[in-house]
Amino acid sequence: MSELPPEGTTPSPFTAVLDEQRHAIYAELAAKGPVHHVTTPTGVKAWLVTDYTVTKALMADPRLVKGGWKAAVYADRLPEDVARGIHTTMLNSDPPAHTRLRKLVMATFTRRRVEKLIPRIQQKTDELLAAAEGEPSVDLVSALAYPLPIAVICDLIGIPEEDRTDFHAWATPTVSPGVHSFEEYQEAATALLRFSRDLIAKKRDAPQDDLLSDLIAARDDGQGLSEDELTSMIFLLVLAGHETTVNLIGNGVRALLTDPDQLALLRARPDLLEPAIEELLRYDGPVQSSLPYRTVEPVEIGEVTLPAGAGVLFALMAANRDQEQFPEGDILDITRDAPTHVAFGHGIHYCVGAPLARVEARIVFGTLLDRYPDLRLAVPADTLTRTPSLIMNGLTALPVHLR
């Protein structure tokens, strides 16, 4: 059995920017087998899993671990206090640390808290769309898909409006390591860490009715979150927590506007909105690849053996179009009866913010469909581009005509 096959000639999906190119690359990889040796944008060699069944099995397999903050991106190059302060997250942790962190977060990130945000999400959606009306064309990413989730996540955490202006500049390099330079990554991560420490100090002095105040007060058997765990949670929520929703909105609107039959069906059958959101997540999800895992012993995948200590990524976009699980998976079908997609991951690291992302998507898509019967692309679909990234799958812009 092979332990280290050479990388093929297929281009990297992480740096693919033409609209359909990324999906085409993943389809080419998937046709060759379930696992592939790749180089990430940071120059690290890793194994990329494209098969749905293998993805679900290995994401729940104890032979694959995260390895803690020391195994996270650039942890070996960042100052230790910065690496610990941004990477001590649930996504980088293994049991029992992960179990404790998730229990504390789930106790504060409740369904009730998400539902309380619904009026604010609708209000902000209305405000953003009102500001965009009257323009001949609107970039729906910058006008709605980006500002809405960042406003919602900041409201949830308890970040004042006057303190939100730098988040876009911090998010861009930190969600795309390797695409942007290490120096840009370090500068953005350090700035966000400094901001987070100041915010935590203010919440300790004056707690409010928000998620961060509750996280500061949360206890499990008398033990609360450490300073590094609190700052890392802000890092995770502000960056991953809003970026996924940005991409869900942008990708979802693009998919509907390029498929008139499915768009017409959804307009005629608004009861299909929630299953449509699940199909949009499957069809063109907001995340292309998981954060890295690492094998603690050899793992066999078909004819390939992953050695102990190997880095493993899961190509969620590819798994969600696995033809064995999703026949004609490259076709959008909002009435599809299919297995559960893995757009939000699987296993113990399943996205804790998935319910909030779904609520935001439901409000945005429902509002757009109800208010703008003539909503359409303002440019040819094949001119749309994607943002280079190891993790995220999002559009750089989505020009539309609202009316």
Percent of the chain with pLDDT strictly greater than 70: 97
Mention every residue, 6+ apart, whose C-beta is less than 8 A from residue 369.
266, 267, 270, 375
On the question of pLDDT at 9 being above 70, the answer is no
DSSP string spanning 311-362? EEEEBHHHHTT-TTTSTTTTS--TT---PPP-TT--GGG--TTHHHHHHHHH
CA–CA separation, 316 and 314 (whole Å):
6
Considering only residues 240 and 37, tell me which one the structure prediction assigns the higher pLDDT. 37
Q: Supply the pLDDT for residue 4.
A: 41
Q: Above pLDDT 90, what percent of the chain?
A: 79
Q: Residue 44: what pLDDT?
A: 87
Q: Is the pLDDT of residue 1 over 80?
A: no
Look at the block and give the residue holding tokens 């649930």.
90
Strand partners, 138: 400
Q: What pLDDT, on a 0 to 100 scale, did the predictor assign at position 8? A: 55
Contacting residues for 287 by C-beta, under 8 A, at least 6 apart? 244, 247, 316, 317, 343, 344, 345, 391, 392, 393
Render the burial of 263-280: b for 16+ CB within 10 Å, e for the rest.
bebbeeeeebeebbbbbb
pLDDT tens readout for residues 126-138: 999 999 998 889 9
Q: Is the pLDDT of residue 2 over 70?
A: no
- Cβ neighbourhood burial of 396 (10 Å; 0-12, 13-18, 19+): middle
pLDDT tens track for 293-325: 999 999 999 989 999 999 999 999 999 999 999
Inter-residue contact 363 to 125 (CB < 8 Å): yes
pLDDT at 50: 97
pLDDT surpassing 50 at residue 3: no
How many residues belong to the chain? 403
C-alpha to C-alpha distance for 71 and 25, rounded to whole angstroms: 28
Q: To which residue do tokens 């729940």 refer?
A: 60
- From 69, 11, 18, select the one nearest 41 (Cα to Cα): 11
pLDDT band at 39 (very low <50, low <70, confident <90, very high): very high
**Is beta strand 138-139 parallel, antiparallel or unpaired with respect to 304-306?**
unpaired
- Reported as a pLDDT band with limits 50, 70 and 90, residue 52 is very high
What pLDDT score was predicted for residue 5?
A: 43
Once rounded to an integer, what is the mean pLDDT over residues 378-395? 94
Residue 9 burial by CB count (10 A; 0-12/13-18/19+): exposed, middle or buried? Answer: exposed
Higher pLDDT residue, 127 or 338? Answer: 127
Question: 225-278: per-residue pLDDT in tens?
Answer: 999 999 999 998 887 778 899 999 999 999 999 999 999 999 999 999 999 999
Given a cut of 90, is residue 393 above it in pLDDT?
yes
CATH, domain range 21-401: 1.10.630.10
Predicted confidence at residue 216, as pLDDT, reads 93
The angle subtended at Cα 227 by Cα 224 and Cα 232, nearest 5°, is 105
Lowest mean pLDDT, pick from 44-53, 215-224, 296-305, 308-317: 215-224
SS3 159: coil
Lowest mean pLDDT of 131-140, 154-163, 356-365, 369-378, name the range: 154-163
Residue 222: pLDDT over 80: no
Average pLDDT over residues 333-338: 94
Cis ω for the linkage preceding 96 (within 30 of 0): yes
pLDDT for 179 equals: 80
Work out the mean pLDDT of the chain and round it to a whole number: 92
Q: What angle do CA 110, 346, 11 make, to 5 degrees?
A: 130
Record the pTM.
0.93
